Structure 1
């Protein structure tokens, strides 16, 4: 059905408004990514300090045996998105976590970040024990990491055992424009990491010393390691979320531009058709008026001819 010029103009205005919104969302995605990237870099430096402390303790207390938890209980911390406009971010992570948890224990618990992530997990038959809101800015990352660390400590105390496995599930960057869901084991400590710290020689001639009991120092450093790892996972998830949103907005902007170009062509075609129709109406009207004037001008000549010939002929 042919569109009128007025209707096409309204659609063009609406699409231009949509493009303005998409461009704004794309700009916000770029702006929001920078603070989260800086936060990830900052917590990496803090994490190095925690690992240095672990190195100091392990160099003094001797070998440490790291094995799987005795009770076989695992806690998964899942970082989703509540802001939307980033594709199948939550669904892809939920599907990946489902595959990772296949064959697990019924006592496994899930701490979920994001209400939409909770819905995605529920659709796959997994019910999180706790749901918290994701941070709205970079200032909320530290508060969220502290909250999750405390909740994990409460779960550990409720188990009545010092052994508990903790894994983090989030979406990380994969190349310049890609992303992929990952599940990383956080506790117990990676045996490879512990062996490297135990074998690594102390870099200074001044040996480290501490006044607190080694077990308390070690537990405090493990909590620091847990906090830094959760903080980094949150920052990385937020960077990836904004990168995914940026990719979605770029695709939307391209689609809107293509639609605007198509509407512009339609408007030009309809305008040209209306101009052609108006010109044809003018030409047809002019020809009709010219013909009418020609007929009117020829009638007096006939009457005059009859007058000069002595009047009309008699039959």
Structure 2
């Protein structure tokens, strides 16, 4: 049976937990703001980089752009899935839904598959369902640390792609959707082949002036492609981190509501027991007084 002392300890513990939850909620909300800002600026920059690549293709009149060198080195179809998960908990179904999406997407791929993960939790879930994780990267804990992570991933991508060991790369991550929710999605990082060009050509040139290539075109296109790959991975990481913090914010809001309800229940029980104890003490005083009066 609960006593006043045990109920008091429960109220103190719940209050401390509520303070922690509020702090985590505030941190998640602040992180969402900075990642949203980064995604907005990255979207515009990525569009400009893509337009630059398209301008080059039109200038040199490239009708077909295929990844022939990689195919010659390794004619067997091989792909790498780069999956952005989370390090910390309190994110609801963030990792579980992404794991299911990755597994379903890769189940129909006809060739060899490698999986690279970012975050400590997602590789465990993938291995639990029979997937093999070949490389694991640490998830950045701030927006300033994303650049170093993307640089490390790009080094591995370029080495495997140029050697022909892997000829296709796909990115899997969660991103914010309408009404503040998030959903898993994927898109291809490499190769930038005819399929990519057809999708990119849907972008309209923003002015009436015809673009032209000035200087060393080969050097320029290499830099543009390098920037395109960097921004694509950077944006995917920022979107994933924003979705993770939104999921954590929702979890903290639910936890705060549950703690408040628990505090109400414990508080009512505490006050009821306290009042009951006071009533008993008053009854004993009155009974003693009546007994002394009769005596």
Question: Separation in 1 of the partners of 2:225 and 2:133?
Answer: 25
Tell me the TM-score normalized by structure 2: 0.89
- Deviation at residue 13 of structure 1 after TM alignment: 0.7
2:158 is matched with 153
- Deviation at residue 166 of structure 1 after TM alignment: 1.4
Q: Is the 8 A contact 1:54 1:197 kept in 2?
A: no
User: Is structure 2 residue 59 aligned with structure 1 residue 60?
Assistant: yes
* Structure with max Cα Rg: 1
CA RMSD of aligned residues (A): 2.3
Question: Separation in 2 of the partners of 1:251 and 1:210?
Answer: 57
1:9 is matched with 8
- Deviation at residue 102 of structure 1 after TM alignment: 0.4
Question: Separation in 2 of the partners of 1:61 and 1:231?
Answer: 29
2:87 is matched with 82
Q: Is the 8 A contact 1:22 1:252 kept in 2?
A: yes
- Deviation at residue 157 of structure 1 after TM alignment: 2.2
Question: Separation in 2 of the partners of 1:198 and 1:245?
Answer: 38
Match of 1:184, SS state, is strand
2:121 is matched with 116
Question: Separation in 1 of the partners of 2:86 and 2:33?
Answer: 18
Match of 2:115, SS state, is strand
Matched residues, number: 288
2:240 is matched with 237
Match of 2:112, SS state, is coil
Which residue of 131, 144, 154 maps to 1:139? 144
| 1:256-295 superposed matches below 5 A | 256-292=259-295
282-291 vs 54-63, greater mean Cα deviation: 54-63
2:42 is matched with 43
Question: Separation in 2 of the partners of 1:208 and 1:262?
Answer: 72
User: Is structure 2 residue 209 aligned with structure 1 residue 210?
Assistant: no
Question: Separation in 1 of the partners of 2:181 and 2:173?
Answer: 14
Q: Is the 8 A contact 1:64 1:194 kept in 2?
A: no
Q: Is the 8 A contact 1:59 1:202 kept in 2?
A: no
Unaligned runs of 5+ residues in structure 1 are: 293-315
Residues 180 and 206 of structure 1, relative CA distance in 2, 3 Å threshold: closer
Tell me the TM-score normalized by structure 1: 0.84
114-123 vs 228-237, greater mean Cα deviation: 114-123
